[in-house]
């Protein structure tokens, strides 16, 4: 096969075209021209490289083109292979440039504005135990009763006794050591500032911060009165606020667990050969009886059954522990024992208010009406003082006689004067407690219906002592 005498020149031009194509590809993909350093922004490189004058560029172009006009030198196979190797050598991958953080703006972004003093004060509602943060204002117990009834009683009850699952706010005296303590403002909270701060900041539910400072002072005064800390004519102000000392102020202390307890649990744990033998299950929760029980066999703190037969219901669980033999013999001996018991019992004296033949329908109606009272007063076997004293045996007996209850001064004064809860006094007291006994701690508005009062008195009389 014959070759043209111009074959070497054609091959040379083809090689240069290939090299130019590769160089253009490198520029498009990496932004670098052949010979420029890799990894440096091209703008910086080209800015540092002085631009050649136009005349020099033209001269350089003419000098580059001059050899093309001259007689080409013979192209050897070695030159062709060297050019091919230069074109086919892999191009080194560009080195990624280190990311450069944008400099922080030297001027503000122009968003928002400086908060006004009034805006800061509106949010700064914190009140401290030493009185810091208290707004100027005052409120008395009577006004607090009205404000509490309008804003708080739907959840906490008219007497702060708590409705349904809402918190109880009054009562619970000396109950913190009981199996189920009653934690209220009077029995648990250590500082009055906590009461004011919480009410002013978060109450009433769904309408936070709608109460004025005077309303908050009044509600706080009413809660103090409901817990027997102040009298009914007390007026709470920002000036006498810190003079009130809560009953449980000494029941709190600084948390010292980081010093006393944490070191016991931060040492290196034992991970092997900790016991001489394999661990064994010795008891189960059902055997340990982790839930304490009361005298009636029910879980401690269970509310007693309300009604005349509460005693029978309360002792029922205890009979389940009787020996099997005694249970088997009980049916045979029951008629004789019952007859003997009836013969041994003396004649029951008539009740001072109602006879044994009292209208059972009236008693049942009184039990239904008493539900208005049961939030504060307990009756029946095992009943304990709550917000109010127990009412077992109250009918026909002297006032202020229930042991362990903290009566108000007005009631104790009338009790010393010989007050007896007979039908006449009970009627007057239940109709309007505050009118009958000025300064009473019972904030109940009273039973306006004479039929309801008669029914409740009949029900209480049926409970006996």
What is the band of 74 on the pLDDT scale with cuts at 50, 70, 90?
low
User: Tokens 């440039």 map to which residue?
Assistant: 97
pLDDT at 249 over 90: yes
The pLDDT of residue 156 is 93
Lowest mean pLDDT across 197-206, 251-260, 405-414 = 405-414
Do the two domains 124-251 and 360-463 of this chain adopt the same fold? Answer: yes
Higher pLDDT, 14 or 205: 205
Burial of 13 per CB tally in 10 Å (0-12, 13-18, 19+): exposed
Does residue 379 contact residue 306 with C-beta atoms inside 8 Å? Answer: yes
pLDDT, residue 48, reads: 47
Tokens (6 digits) for 149:
């009834």
- 234 — pLDDT class (breaks 50, 70, 90): very high
3-state helix/strand/coil string of 380-396: CCCCCCCCCCCCCCCCC
Say what the pTM is: 0.44
Confidence of residue 133 (pLDDT cuts 50, 70, 90): very high
> What's the pLDDT at 78?
59
> Which residues are registered as beta bridge partners of 236?
139
For residue 311, what pLDDT band results from cuts at 50, 70 and 90?
very low
Helix (H/G/I), strand (E/B), else coil: 160: coil
Pair 97, 30: CB distance under 8 Å: no
pLDDT band, very low/low/confident/very high, at 440 (cuts 50, 70, 90): confident
Lowest mean per-residue pLDDT among 103-117, 159-173, 397-411: 103-117
**Residues in CB range of 159: below 8 A, 6 or more apart:** 170, 226, 375, 376, 387, 442, 443, 444
Indicate the class that CATH gives domain 124-251: mainly alpha
Looking at residues 80-107, what average pLDDT do you find?
Answer: 56
Residue 405 has pLDDT above 60, yes or no: yes
Instruction: Return the top range by mean pLDDT from 163-172, 286-295, 431-440.
Output: 163-172
Nearest to 460 by CA among 393, 401, 402: 393
Residue 403 half-sphere exposure, CB side, CA atoms within 13 Å?
1
Every domain of the chain and the residues it spans? 7-88, 124-251, 360-463
Whether domain 360-463 has CATH 1.10.760.10: the reply is yes
Predicted pLDDT at 302 = 63
């Amino acid at each position: 096969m014959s070759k043209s005498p111009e074959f070497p020149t054609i091959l040379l031009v083809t090689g240069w075209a290939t090299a130019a194509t590769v160089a253009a590809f490198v520029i498009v993909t990496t932004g670098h021209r052949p010979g420029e350093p890799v990894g440096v922004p091209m703008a910086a490189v080209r800015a540092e490289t002085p631009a050649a004058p136009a005349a020099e560029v033209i001269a350089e172009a003419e000098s580059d083109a001059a050899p093309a006009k001259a007689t080409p030198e013979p192209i050897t196979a070695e030159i062709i292979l060297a050019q091919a190797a230069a074109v086919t050598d892999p191009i080194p991958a560009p080195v990624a440039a280190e990311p450069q953080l944008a400099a922080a703006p030297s001027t503000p972004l122009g968003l928002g504005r400086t908060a006004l003093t009034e805006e800061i004060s509106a949010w700064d509602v914190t009140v401290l135990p030493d009185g810091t943060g208290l707004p100027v204002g005052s409120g008395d117990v009577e006004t607090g009763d009205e404000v509490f009834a309008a804003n708080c009683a739907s959840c906490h009850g008219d007497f702060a006794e708590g409705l349904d699952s809402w918190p109880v706010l009054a009562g619970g005296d000396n109950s913190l050591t009981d199996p189920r303590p009653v934690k209220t403002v009077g029995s648990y909270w250590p500082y009055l500032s906590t009461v004011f701060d919480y009410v002013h900041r978060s109450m009433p539910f769904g309408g936070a911060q709608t109460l004025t400072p005077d309303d908050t002072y009044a509600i706080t005064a009413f809660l103090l009165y409901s817990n027997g800390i102040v009298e009914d004519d007390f007026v709470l102000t920002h000036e006498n606020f810190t003079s009130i000392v809560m009953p449980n102020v000494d029941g709190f202390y600084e948390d010292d667990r980081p010093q006393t307890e944490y070191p016991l649990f931060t040492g290196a744990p034992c991970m092997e050969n900790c016991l001489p033998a394999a661990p064994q299950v010795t008891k189960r929760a059902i055997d340990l009886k982790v839930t304490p029980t009361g005298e009636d066999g029910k879980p401690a703190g269970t509310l007693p059954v309300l009604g005349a037969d509460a005693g029978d219901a309360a002792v029922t669980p205890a009979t389940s522990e009787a020996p099997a033999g005694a249970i088997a013999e009980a049916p045979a001996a029951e008629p004789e024992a019952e007859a003997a018991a009836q013969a041994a019992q003396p004649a029951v004296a008539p009740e001072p208010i109602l006879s044994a033949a009292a209208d059972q329908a009236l008693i049942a109606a009184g039990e239904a009406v008493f539900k208005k009272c049961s939030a504060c007063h307990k009756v029946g076997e095992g009943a304990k003082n709550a917000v109010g004293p127990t009412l077992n045996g109250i009918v026909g007996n002297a006032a202020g006689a229930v042991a362990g209850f903290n009566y108000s001064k007005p009631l104790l004064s009338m009790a010393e004067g010989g007050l007896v809860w007979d039908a006449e006094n009970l009627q007057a007291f239940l109709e309007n407690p505050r009118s009958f006994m000025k300064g009473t701690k019972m904030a109940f508005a009273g039973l306006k219906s004479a039929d309801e009062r008669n029914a409740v008195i009949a029900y209480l009389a049926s409970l006996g002592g």
